[in-house]
Amino acid sequence: MRAVDIIIKKRDRHELSHDEIEFFVRGFTNGDIPDYQASAFAMAVLLNGMTARETTDLTLAMAHSGSMLDLSDVVDLAVDKHSSGGVGDKTSLSVLPIVAACGLPVGKMSGRGLGFSGGTLDKLESIPGYRVNLSTEEFKQQLKEKGIVLTGQSLDLAPADGKMYALRDVTGTVQSIPLIASSIMCKKLAAGAQAILLDVKTGLGAFMETLEEARKLATLMTDIGKLAGREVVALLSDMNQPLGCAVGNSLEVIEAIDLLKGNAPEDFTEHCLHVSAHMLVLGKRAANLDEGRAMAEKSIEDGSALEKLRVLVRAQGGDVSYIDDTSKFEKAKLIEVVKSPRSGYLSEVQARSVGEAAVTLGAGRAKKSDPVDHAVGFIIHHKVGDTLEAGEPLFTIHANDQAKLDDVREIVLAAHTFSDAPTGKLPLFYS
Ligand code: URA
């Protein structure tokens, strides 16, 4: 077999066999197939799609490209979550401490930013000292001892996805249902999850813009999970406007910490409570969603979720004083409040434009090797449905470069659309 023939076959819209997919994934993982061929392959898949069978084969080949973690000696039931990616989505940073405080041990391996969508690892690295490169042994040990882990994908788990993910970020090949489904599910399978909560985002700031596409992705991922013997629940959640107010690495960490202090935007809080409730049910700590939600609320009220975050940060070498005093996070040099140009009702905050503008400021990468600026981003002060007066703060830009700040001001202003008639709030979940 030759990689080029497999690329040509997909380019010409033919279905790849199980063996061809395995050959390609194995070759890419061990370095026989170079990045440029893997990029061409990803583009051919993006353009021509894959059948459910091909996607399942791709998922399993990527899951088996490294070790398969077995957590049965560490936890009674390994529950994991994954978001399909969005703008301002810092859910894991709050939900993991919440569910861990409710007695459900959780170990999660997260990713970096992808295109306009932020990544949990980039966010976590804004806490000085925080290690995101735990070995598998360290992962298991910490999960057993502390009941909470939030780290990067260890290199021996699904290495094919690790390599492919970095390539897709910079080759315009993120937005493909089979590539997203296989990327997410291979990591969950390799990381030993027995039950998985999928937070599938839909809207202008999601990889799946329409509800129909999001449903397709959710169905494909739940089918793959079931086929692999896992219990999977998928939520379809809104990503037309940024989640919460903060967009950008340290700004989002601060908002996630604020949630655990009972002081976060309502939409983000509601989102996290709902996701936590589902995880507690999946993990058999709550009998139903109402009970799960009440447990999650209590963990915020009594401070146990915040304490779990401290435990997590300390265990991974981070400076815990940043959790207690978020004013310690490094600030951008330039902070500008942009005022509302008019009165009216807010009818749209175009999440993708905000995410792309954050990347322009340096919060994400344009090339694989680009460093990330943790301090830059936005605070979006209003939600769709809000009433605004001309001149009140609309959003705040945190930048480290005047030219970039000037670039994004108009873009984010244009991302806000006003209406003279009242507009309803956006739903948080569709299904
Ligand atoms: N999250 C992932 O892990 N992979 C994708 O392809 C998209 C979102």
Percent of all residues in the chain with a pLDDT value above 90, rounded to a whole number: 91
Residue 376 has pLDDT above 90, yes or no: yes
Residue 385 has pLDDT above 90, yes or no: yes
180 lines ligand 1 (CB under 6 A): yes
Residue 367 has pLDDT above 90, yes or no: no
Residue 99 has pLDDT above 90, yes or no: yes
pLDDT of residue 80: 95
Task: Tell me the mean pLDDT in the region 183-197.
Answer: 94
Token reading at 4: 């080029």
pLDDT of residue 85: 87
Q: Name the active-site residue from 10, 81, 82, 381.
A: 82
pLDDT of residue 301: 98
Per residue in 321-359, pLDDT tens? 999 999 999 999 999 999 999 999 999 999 999 999 999
Q: Is 70 an annotated catalytic residue?
A: no
Question: Atom 1 in ligand 1: which residue has the minimum CA distance?
Answer: 84
CB contact at 8 A, 246 and 90: yes
Q: Name the active-site residue from 10, 123, 168, 381.
A: 168
Q: Indicate the burial class of 17 (C-beta count within 10 angstroms; 0-12, 13-18, 19 or more).
A: middle
Q: Is 161 an annotated catalytic residue?
A: yes
Instruction: Give the CA diameter of the chain.
Output: 65
Per residue in 24-36, pLDDT tens? 999 999 999 999 9
Q: Which residues pair with 393 in a beta bridge?
A: 339
- Please tell me the distance between residue 119's alpha carbon and the centre of ligand 1 in angstroms: 10
Task: Tell me the mean pLDDT in the region 189-207.
Answer: 94
- Please tell me the distance between residue 311's alpha carbon and the centre of ligand 1 in angstroms: 27
Residue 246: its H or E element: strand 246-247
- Please tell me the distance between residue 181's alpha carbon and the centre of ligand 1 in angstroms: 7
Q: Is 367 an annotated catalytic residue?
A: no
Token reading at 268: 């983000």
Residue 305 has pLDDT above 90, yes or no: yes
84 lines ligand 1 (CB under 6 A): yes
Nearest CA among 374, 328, 303, 264 for reference residue 97:
303
Residue 369 pLDDT class (50, 70, 90 cuts): confident
Q: Is 168 an annotated catalytic residue?
A: yes
Residue 180 one-letter amino acid: I
Question: Atom 2 in ligand 1: which residue has the minimum CA distance?
Answer: 184
Question: Atom 8 in ligand 1: which residue has the minimum CA distance?
Answer: 84
DSSP codes joined into one string, 352-408: HHHHHHHHHHTSS-SSTT----TT-EEEE---TT-EE-TTSEEEEEEES-HHHHHHH
Taken as a whole, the chain contains a residue count of: 431
Residue 400 pLDDT class (50, 70, 90 cuts): very high
* Ligand 1 atom nearest residue 207's Cα: 7
* Ligand 1 atom nearest residue 117's Cα: 8
Token reading at 62: 């990527």
Which strand ranges, in their side-by-side order, compose the sheet holding 387-388?
387-388, 344-349, 416-419
Residue 370 has pLDDT above 90, yes or no: no
- Please tell me the distance between residue 183's alpha carbon and the centre of ligand 1 in angstroms: 5
Per residue in 241-277, pLDDT tens? 999 999 999 999 999 999 999 999 999 999 999 999 9
Whole-prediction pTM: 0.91
Write down the mean pLDDT value for the chain: 96
pLDDT of residue 49: 96
Task: Tell me the mean pLDDT in the region 87-101.
Answer: 98
pLDDT of residue 117: 84
pLDDT of residue 93: 98
Residue 114 pLDDT class (50, 70, 90 cuts): confident
* Ligand 1 atom nearest residue 84's Cα: 8
Percent of all residues in the chain with a pLDDT value above 70, rounded to a whole number: 100
CB contact at 8 A, 78 and 107: yes
184 lines ligand 1 (CB under 6 A): yes
Q: Is 381 an annotated catalytic residue?
A: no
Residue 377 pLDDT class (50, 70, 90 cuts): very high
pLDDT of residue 95: 98
Higher per-residue pLDDT: 369 or 313: 313
